[in-house]
Amino acid sequence: QVKLVESGGDSVQAGGSLRLSCAASGLSSGTYCTAWFRQAPGMEREGVASISSLGYYTNYGDFVKGRFTISRDSAKNTVYLQMHNLKPDDTAMYYCAAMTACQWSYRLRPADYNYWGQGTQVTVSS
């Protein structure tokens, strides 16, 4: 059974930092791509960042602009999203997603991902 568990969401002030974690089980390390998406109330889900199965390639949403870094620890089967200089517009539920049988996918499209976590809330106050 595949399971993705996000953690690390919190309430912070603008300019602060957070690190989100996505721990996977039921998936073999090195065989799936991972992405972070976010969704604010009343908004569509949007892609934040993606990483290839071995961690060599990454892609980011345009709004990230160098503030976030996605990384993978294959030994722990965990993907991280380090976020710096957070802004109130970053407030959203953040979801981790996995695409199986994938080495790399440049697109940040939710429909491409077949497993999802339950989400972790990030709230940024001004």
pLDDT at 15: 98
| Residue ranges in the chain whose pLDDT is less than 70 | none
**In the chain, where do the E strands start and end?**
3-7, 11-13, 18-25, 32-39, 46-51, 58-60, 68-73, 78-83, 92-100, 115-116, 120-125
Q: What is the pLDDT of residue 61?
A: 96
Tokens, residue 99: 């695409």
